[in-house]
Chains A and B, each alone.
Chain A
Amino acid sequence: MLVVDQISKHLPTFSLSEVTFKVSQPDYFMLLGPSGSGKSLLLQIISGLVKPDSGRIFFNGNDITTTPAGKRNLGILFQDLALFPHLSVFDNIAYPLRVKKQSISIVRQTVNDLAAHFSISKLLKQNVASLSGGEKQRVALARTLASKPSILLLDEPLSAVDAQLHLDIMGMLRSINRQGTPIIHVTHNFEEAISLASKVGVLNQGQLVQVGEPVEVFQNPRSEFVAKFTGAKNFFRVKELNATRNGLVYAVLPSDKKIAFYADTILPKGFVCFPEDSVVLSTQVENQSALNVFRGKVIDIFAQRFGYEVIIDCGFRISALVTKESLEKLNILAGTEIFAAVKASAVKYIPEM
């Protein structure tokens, strides 16, 4: 288990203050934050490349705060990959084994196994400069794993990869994690976080503002950054999916209610979300073009900067953003019976890897 305990670092233009979290054996910990929130700095502190001003880092009970980077056995995958340009693909992957003076046969065996696993066996003799972006990513990942790290640290690993490779690499990361390596993954991308994370930490302006399971964090955002994410509060895990022929998909929510939407990629598990301002409230069902109409009862009303947030219990909770005028026109009060309509096209589906 990795424990990050009250880590602070003050730089001239930026500070990390008292960041605390734990990552245990099966965790896929997603550190989410806008650019400039201190995510990469935190990763460099954990990996031992940057010294914190205060705070401690423990790994399996041992204080590793002052342990040199090379002795922490944490593998880090940099955003720019940092492949060694003067070495071949083979020599890049073999690097961590050779500096630890492993025998030639072990080096060859390990490199070949990793290359086979990442489908880069044919590239082993090539120079890294001749590789495509996706190939470089695989080589860098194989090299990091060759050191058999106890924890894998990833700095925006998907930012430079095109959409096609995205799913590929997410699948690889997920399987590395399932095989027992905890992962700390830094990103500013919500969909990555939702797809992969078993635990999410939200970093904002150098402070860890929220830690928890993805559903919990997105349904109860404690920072503007998370709250701004489209449909953050109307965020549900899908129990079951039924695709129809015309591209329309029906998802069964935990409350057994069904919600319809359009999606290209369907994986057996995933999440659906829709923006609060896409929910249309009415007192009658008539003339609704929306495919999804839920009947429920208003349980709470909060004033927001622009209008009001209405919480409706339809067997599951929906948040709707309405203007003061609509609220008065429909005479919405706590306890009012109401219909909440959500267009299928406003519903976003995010598969879980």
Chain B
Amino acid sequence: MLQNRVNSFSHFQLVLTLLGAFILLFIVAPLLGMIISTPFKAITATAADSQVLNSIWLSIWVAMVTSLLFAIPAIPLAYILARYNFPLKNLINGIIDLPVVIPHSVVGIALLGFIAGDGLLGKTFDAFGVKLLGTPFAIAIAMAFVSLPFLVNSARDGFQQVPERLEQAALTLGASPFQVFFTISLPLAWRSIVTGLVMMFARGMSEFGAVVVIAYHPMVASVMIYDRFTAFGLKYAQPAAILFLFVSLIVFISLRFFSQKR
């Protein structure tokens, strides 16, 4: 097909391809370099280390539970933003995107004040004798804060693509607004919602900045790798990093595969 095009256009395509290749190489090269420079033995030894396995597992399950629990209020919010017009809607859309632009250490500091013993949420839980700091709950709060925009934005785009006419038709056929939401809007926006959930999960699982401030322990994978790096150096951190990279990729690819198949 390339040959059939006008000559100048193929030059144009060559430039595009080279620039694109540079970006791809930029992403892949450091990861590949790390994998190549690490002895296979070191990776297998790390894979048997229960501290590593526990931290990776903690990252996965907390990110997953966080995504699913926060989806319950986040999806209706996305629907409101897609369907209704109201004053300050742009402001609300801006607020949703805030976590993407705030430095994550700042997020961690802000959340720490919120859930520490003298913070609003911390005080409430303290009254029941429950400590939040240093628990998976604290990790979940940090993960949710930084990853919610991915779910809300994706779900909102999904709902926007559902023709309002279909919802109107369902209403006239006797469905209640709740029934319309669950039988028409939600199934038709499902693909975007699942994509958003996968992105939220992936972003939450890989979060470091906010989590390290709010919960150094129990250690999630990203904190564990950082901990190994500062305590023992690069060589010692690399096998754990590679292991986490593989696990993340496997989980991420299989979730994407599943969501696109639907």
How many residue pairs bridge A and B at CB < 8 Å? 60
Q: Which residues of B contact A78 (CB under 8 A)?
A: 165, 168-169
Given A82-B165, A86-B187, A86-B188, check contact A75 B179 (CB 8 Å).
no
Q: Which residues of A contact B170 (CB under 8 A)?
A: 84, 95, 99
The interface on chain A, measured as residues whose beta carbon lies within 8 A of the other chain's beta carbons, has a size of 25
Interface centre among A68, A73, A96 (most CB of B within 10 A): A96
Question: A75 vs B174: C-alpha distance in the bound complex, in angstroms?
Answer: 9
Q: Which residues of B contact A143 (CB under 8 A)?
A: 173
Q: Which residues of A contact B166 (CB under 8 A)?
A: 82, 84-85
Q: Are A99 and B172 in contact (CB under 8 A)?
A: no
Question: A144 vs B171: C-alpha distance in the bound complex, in angstroms?
Answer: 12
Q: What 8 pairs between A and B have smallest CB-CB spacing?
A: A82-B169, A96-B173, A99-B175, A69-B171, A76-B172, A82-B165, A70-B174, A99-B179
Q: Are B172 and A49 in contact (CB under 8 A)?
A: yes
Q: Which residues of A contact B176 (CB under 8 A)?
A: 70, 99
> What are 18 A-B pairs at a CB distance below 8 A?
A47-B172, A49-B172, A71-B174, A72-B172, A74-B172, A78-B165, A78-B169, A80-B165, A82-B166, A82-B169, A84-B184, A86-B187, A96-B174, A99-B173, A99-B176, A99-B179, A144-B173, A147-B174
- Closest-CB distance, B178 to chain A (whole angstroms): 10
Chain B proximity mask over A135-161: 1 for CB below 8 Å, otherwise 0: 000000001100100000000000000
The interface on chain B, measured as residues whose beta carbon lies within 8 A of the other chain's beta carbons, has a size of 17
Q: Which residues of A contact B168 (CB under 8 A)?
A: 49, 69, 78, 82
Question: A85 vs B172: C-alpha distance in the bound complex, in angstroms?
Answer: 17
Q: Are A95 and B172 in contact (CB under 8 A)?
A: no
Check: A100 CB closer than 8 A to any chain B CB.
Answer: yes
Secondary structure call for the B interface: helix
- Closest-CB distance, B52 to chain A (whole angstroms): 43
- Closest-CB distance, B101 to chain A (whole angstroms): 36
Check: A48 CB closer than 8 A to any chain B CB.
Answer: yes
Check: B183 CB closer than 8 A to any chain A CB.
Answer: yes
Question: A70 vs B175: C-alpha distance in the bound complex, in angstroms?
Answer: 6
Q: Which residues of B contact A70 (CB under 8 A)?
A: 171-176
Partner of A147, one of B165, B173, B179, B184: B173
Q: Which residues of B contact A85 (CB under 8 A)?
A: 166, 188
Partner of A99, one of B163, B183, B187: B183
Question: A75 vs B169: C-alpha distance in the bound complex, in angstroms?
Answer: 9
Q: Which residues of A contact B163 (CB under 8 A)?
A: 82
**Contacts beyond the supplied A75-B173, A76-B172, A95-B173: 4 A-B pairs with Cβ under 8 Å:** A49-B168, A78-B168, A95-B175, A96-B174
Q: Which of A272-290 contact B (CB under 8 A)?
A: none
Q: Are A100 and B174 in contact (CB under 8 A)?
A: yes
Given A82-B165, A82-B166, A84-B166, check contact A69 B188 (CB 8 Å).
no
Nearest-neighbor residue (CB-CB) of B165 within chain A: A82
Q: Which residues of A contact B183 (CB under 8 A)?
A: 95, 99
Question: A71 vs B163: C-alpha distance in the bound complex, in angstroms?
Answer: 22
Chain A proximity mask over B137-176: 1 for CB below 8 Å, otherwise 0: 0000000000000000000000000010110111111111
Q: Which of A75-105 contact B (CB under 8 A)?
A: 75-76, 78, 80, 82, 84-86, 95-96, 99-100
